[in-house]
Amino acid sequence: MSDDIVDIVDIIDLKPSLLRDLKNLYKNLEKDNNNDYNVIIKVDQKNFKAHSVILKLRSEYFHNLINNELAKKMVKFSKKLTLEVSDINSNVFASCLKYIYTGKFSLQEDDDVMFDLFIAADNLKLIDMVDYLQKFFIENKSYWIENNLIGVYQTTLNHESRKKLQTYCEGIIEKDPELIFISDLFHTLKKTILLNLIKRDDISLPEFEIWYYLVTWVHEQEPPIDRDLQKWDSSDTIKFKERIGDFVPYIRFFAITSEDYYICVRPYKDVLPEKLVEQLEEYYLTKKTSPPPDALPPREMKEKNPNWLKRRHSMGKQPPGLQRKNTLAKPPVVVQPRIRTVSKIINNQKIKRISRWIDGNESNELGDSNNNHD
């Protein structure tokens, strides 16, 4: 009798045929005569067909959305259900829907599109896709992340599912905080992140550049404040002072040269504490050898990698020292008064020469070059 008993010790795996049928199900959605779908998804003014059971099984987002829609309507699934998905590009959503049905998506897209796909996958709770794309960006797109550091980093904040990418960005910022300052998206940086950066002692940028980027950030916050200080009224001064107030204690003003102070900082002295302005002007005008005892020491300038300037140039940023005279408030133009002749004996040329001699800029005796009294 034992000979009639057959023990089945192997489990037959016909998964490829299952995947084939799911792929066919996905392909059939595009056919005009296909009526077996029961969900219409509106994305960016485009409609997508789908099956509720697949959506709910593969995506926690759709599981909750479908259940909530049914609960609101208080009906069973007697007819097709229409869902709306916002904040996702229709082409990106098409890639997500294909992944939901087939488990496949393309890596041949533009890097920006790939990152949009990562964000969309996370919003739709496609966990495996999110984990894969995080690893993909970290291992293959490090240069792109550096060039888009602010956007990538701020997108990962407060999202536990994006923690790996967030940690990677924090590692870059810890090593090269300067990348934040030279980013084209610097004006979008959240205040708390910028404040923590400016508190650091190891930013390898000249202090006037840090000040330059800070005032640029303040100008560009909403609502923007006019860059032409001559057009300011009292409300602009108050607004600017409120925005920059928390940062001022952490700027190393006494590490800024007198020329850079005059060009970059002095035009904004009305938004700085009066005591600080007095200390700075005393420091520069009297040429004191040391700043006040409570002044922060200069930052520790780390030796930069030789590729640093090359990378900075590739990000389209010129050091503000090359352009600040045109971008920040200009110093007043001093018009030299015209010298009027007051004597018939001494002409204008001799008057100018006497003036240079008095100032110590004329080495020859007054009468050396010309003994004529005309």
Collect all residues with Cβ–Cβ distance below 8 Å to 127 and sequence separation of at least 6: 161
What is the distance between the alpha carbons of residues 55 and 328, in angstroms, rounded to a whole number?
55
What is the distance between the alpha carbons of residues 345 and 214, in angstroms, rounded to a whole number?
58
Residue 38 located in a structural domain? no
pLDDT at residue 16, rounded to an integer: 77
Residue 251 located in a structural domain? yes
Which residues form the domain of 294? 209-332
pLDDT at residue 56, rounded to an integer: 92
Q: Where are the beta strands (DSSP E) in the chain?
A: 39-43, 46-50, 81-85
Spatial contact of 40 and 48, defined as CB atoms under 8 Å apart: yes
Dihedral class, residue 210 (left if φ above 0, else alpha if ψ from -120 to 50, else beta): alpha
Q: Are strands 39-43 and 81-85 parallel, antiparallel or unpaired?
A: parallel
Q: In what order do the strands lie in the sheet with 39-43?
A: 46-50, 39-43, 81-85
Q: 90-102 vs 111-123: helix axis angle to the nearest 10?
A: 60
Three-class DSSP labels, 201-245: CCCCCCHHHHHHHHHHHHHHCCCCCCCCHHHCCHHHHHHHHHHHC
Find residue 41's DSSP bridge partners. Answer: 48, 83
pLDDT at residue 25, rounded to an integer: 85
Residue 156 located in a structural domain? no
Residue 232 located in a structural domain? yes
Residue 213 located in a structural domain? yes
Q: Which of 299, 291, 288 is closest to 201 using CA atoms? A: 299
pLDDT at residue 287, rounded to an integer: 76
Task: Count the helix, strand and coil residues of the chain and give each as a percent rounded to the nearest 5.
Answer: 55, 5, 40
> How many residues does this entry show for the chain?
374
Find residue 147's DSSP bridge partners. Answer: none
Backbone dihedral angles phi then psi of residue 131, each to the nearest 5 degrees: -60, -40
Work out the angle at residue 269's Cα, subtended by the Cα atoms of residues 263 and 271, and round it to the nearest 5 degrees: 130
Over the chain (374 residues), what is each successive 10-residue block's mean pLDDT?
Answer: 53 74 82 80 92 92 90 65 92 94 90 96 95 96 93 94 96 90 91 94 90 96 94 95 96 94 93 94 84 90 58 49 39 40 50 52 45 42
What is the distance between the alpha carbons of residues 325 and 212, in angstroms, rounded to a whole number?
11
Burial class (CB in 10 A: 0-12, 13-18, 19+), 65: buried
Collect all residues with Cβ–Cβ distance below 8 Å to 139 and sequence separation of at least 6: none
pLDDT at residue 28, rounded to an integer: 82
Please state the domain count of the chain: 1
Q: Is 118 in a helix, a strand, or coil? A: helix
Backbone dihedral angles phi then psi of residue 266, each to the nearest 5 degrees: -55, -35
Residue 219 located in a structural domain? yes
pLDDT at residue 357, rounded to an integer: 52
Residue 170 located in a structural domain? no
